[in-house]
Amino acid sequence: MTTAARRPADAAYRSIRPLHHLRPVHRLAAAAALLLSGAAATHAAPVWVSMDEAAFQVLQAQRIAHTEVERHALPASTERLSRPGHEALVILQAEEDDLARLSLAAHQALHRCGGFMVHESRQEARQAVAAADRHLRQGRMATQATVPDYRLNDQSKVNPLLPQLKESEILATISKLQSYTNRYYRHNVGARASNELADSWRALAPGRTDVTVSQFNHPNFVQKSVILEIRGTVAPEEIIVIGGHLDSITPQAVLRPGGRAPGADDDASGIATLQEVMRVLLQSGYKPERTIQFIGYAGEEAGLLGSKDIAKAYAAQGRNVMGALQLDMTDYKGSSSDITLITDYTNAPQDDFVAALAAGYLPELKVVRDVCGYACSDHASWTANGYAASFPFEAAFGEDNPRIHTTKDTLSQIGNSAAHALKFARLALAYAVELGSDHGPAAP
């Protein structure tokens, strides 16, 4: 999809660079342009979107055209599962063009990305809302897959591998990924970043006939998701997923293909973290009983687009994904704690398992729990399709990297270090080997 056609609508983006980065005079200019933008946009295809109340208020404040509004009140739930502005979910139709403007404005106003999900139809939007409602009522998502044994019993496999994980490898991968002008999902440079990531993953598994690297095509945009699969030796149909998103975003990148979006922490860090786990497992010759898939999702910043397509396709094919772990922002230590387990739009039993992995293998780390209050990363796509997902995050809500979605999300701004991300690589390796080294359902 060329970006040329988007020029008029995207023109609006000049107006909403994160204002707190602008000097007052520019802030004024930006505000003026913002007023203008509302009128300029809206000429592409309408899409169905669901969002929480807080995001809906931003949409209204931005005067983004929308129709077919449906408000679905959510059950009052424990603090553990929701935040102010999350009392209801709103379904509506809006112009696809306006979504990234909403995304950036939501980031500006709510200190979070997008906060909305794009759906193929009103029907699908209602299903997602119903699933969120069920989640709030039952405190967990019904999973359509087999529930694995969550007891820790593979120390003899995990412990020899943990020391092989290298911070230097993670640093090198983040450095490579941030060197692309941007990894925006609609630009050719974003597509090239995906293609070259796939090539680099193929180079990690020379001659392994049980390892395949493929790219998942998304119908609506050029950037592909990348999947490296290590086929299980005993139960290949049972799948464990470790994922992160390979795209990046800033207003500048939305505006033009040459716009800068380094996305070092968001989310080159997650891709680098899972790639280091992949490198050590492949180099060590580890052969899992279950299939392990490492996935670099495209289009996360525009509403979890890549992971949504993949999770939906897997559900439609009845694939037995027994667990998904999301790595989105692992390298900014904004809190006194080390790992923040996000507990909304996730699976509580698997969250407990991930916490047990940290306690068992990384006792020196401080692990806390928090909520996003919206579908804040790709784990939500797996949850929305009935799969168990967990999301260990870099910091507590509001203490995470303040430079995401700006040209300043670079390694130099996070101390040119991957020490924090290394903790997540250790956790993710323990997750992969403990779940990968067994098969079949948990003993009743």
Using the structure block, give the residue that is written with the tokens 């809206």: 42
Member of 52, 400, 409, 438 binding ligand IPO (CB under 6 A)? 400
Q: How many residues does the chain have?
A: 444
Task: Tell me which of ligand IPO, Zn ion, none is bound by residue 397, counting a contact when its beta carbon lies within the kind-specific cut-off of 5 to 8 angstroms.
Answer: ligand IPO
411 vs 408: CA distance, rounded Å: 9
The CA distance from 309 to 296, in Å, is: 13
How many of the chain's residues bind ligand IPO (CB under 6 A)? 15
Q: Which amino acid, residue 299?
A: G
From its phi and psi, is residue 36 left (phi > 0), alpha (psi between -120 and 50) or beta? alpha
- The amino acid at residue 427 is L
Indicate the residue among 124 and 400 with the shorter CB distance to Zn ion: 400
Q: In this structure, what are the phi and psi dihedrals at residue 439, rounded to the nearest 5 degrees?
A: -155, 165
| Marked catalytic residue, from 301, 309, 370, 378 | 301
Residues in CB range of 324: below 8 A, 6 or more apart: 240, 241, 242, 243, 379, 382, 387, 388, 389, 390
Q: Closest separation between CB of residue 45 and ligand IPO, Å?
A: 24
User: Alpha-carbon distance 440 to 431, whole Å?
Assistant: 16
Taking CB under 6 A as the binding criterion, the range among 82-90, 359-367, 370-378, 408-416 that sits at the site for ligand IPO is 370-378
Q: Does 378 bind ligand IPO (CB under 6 A)?
A: no
- Report the distance separating Cα 342 and Cα 225, nearest Å: 24
Q: Which of 105, 128, 404, 428: binder of ligand IPO (CB under 6 A)? A: 404
Under the criterion CB under 5 A, does residue 253 sit at the interface with Zn ion?
A: no
- Least Cβ distance, residue 382 to ligand IPO (angstroms): 15
174 token code pair: 């983040």
Binding flag, residue 117, Zn ion (CB under 5 A): no
Q: Among 245, 379, 420, 439, which one carries the catalytic annotation?
A: 245
And the tokens for 128?
């997602």
Member of 247, 266, 309, 338 binding Zn ion (CB under 5 A): 266
Cα-atom radius of gyration of the chain, to the nearest Å?
21
Is residue 245 part of the annotated active site? The answer reads yes
Q: Quick one: 241 or 271, whose CB is closer to ligand IPO?
A: 271
Element spanning 36, H or E: helix 24-40
Select from 201, 221, 332, 393 the one that contacts ligand IPO (CB under 6 A). 393
Q: Does 300 bind ligand IPO (CB under 6 A)?
A: yes
Per CB under 6 A, the segment of 226-234, 305-313, 392-400, 407-415 that binds ligand IPO is 392-400
Exactly one of 12, 34, 104, 113 binds Zn ion (CB under 5 A); which one? 113
Whether 300 is a known active-site residue: answer yes
Q: Is residue 376 near ligand IPO by the rule CB under 6 A?
A: yes
Asked whether the beta carbons of 346 and 391 are under 8 A apart, the reply is yes
- The single-letter DSSP state of residue 202 is H
Which pair of tokens denotes residue 441? 């359902």
Mind telling me the catalytic residues?
245, 266, 300-301, 328, 405
Contact residues for ligand IPO (CB under 6 A)?
112-113, 266-267, 300-301, 328-329, 372, 376-377, 393, 397, 400, 404
